[in-house]
Amino acid sequence: MIDARILPFQRAALQPAARMLSRMGISADTISLTGFLVGLLAFTALATGHWTAALVLILANRLLDGLDGAVARINGPTDRGAFLDITLDFVFYALVPLGFAVQAPAVHALPAAVLIVSFVGTGSSFLAFAVIATKQGKRAVAFPTKGIYYAGGLAEGFETIAVFVAMCLFPLSFPVIALVFAAVCGMTTLVRWYQGWVVFSGKSDRL
């Protein structure tokens, strides 16, 4: 919901580190893969109930996710980089609730499953919209530097990470947090379905 507003500040903050990494010859793809490995460590920390370590690793994953894009803008973006970025992100998002489910299946499994299903809704609607919008030559004005068409919504990257942070800080409240955010993701999916129905009907160019 607020990703477009904070994007300029994020780019400015990451630019010095991105320039340093670029001078060192570290590619955006390497950063993306490293970030995913950090995400796997976050899953392990969650599954074993090490909440503080999980929080640090989740934030490190997101930092690397921002840096890969910043380095790509310096070195030149690639289709492979855009592919890696979005596909690894979606798996990482699912690993967080899965980690909670593994840690306490009797309490966390059902809310985690509901949240993961809601992520399938937001992810599939996001990607389907992006594919058809790109095919039709449409551009996301609010996200001009993204590798693919970026459809916004109530639940975007910032909101998702804020929820993950809350889960790590208040792990006993995971079921409530997960179900509330699943409802928000569900609304985001419905909005994108409606947008797709209208925009791709052939009767409107409105996004």
Q: How many residues does the chain have?
A: 207
Residue 149 has a pLDDT of 55
Considering the domain 3-199 in this protein, what is its CATH number? 1.20.120.1760
Residue 207 has a pLDDT of 47
d(CA 145, CA 165): 26
Query: What 3-state class would DSSP assign to 107?
Result: helix
DSSP label of 203 = S
Q: In this predicted model, what pLDDT tens digit does every residue of 154-204 receive, in sequence order?
A: 677 788 999 999 999 999 999 999 999 999 999 999 988 988 888 888 755
Domain assignments of the chain as residue spans, ordered by start: 3-199
Q: In this predicted model, what pLDDT tens digit does every residue of 4-59 receive, in sequence order?
A: 566 677 777 888 888 999 999 899 999 999 999 999 999 999 999 999 999 999 99
Average pLDDT rounded to a whole number, residues 75-101: 93
d(CA 186, CA 198): 19
Residue 5 has a pLDDT of 67
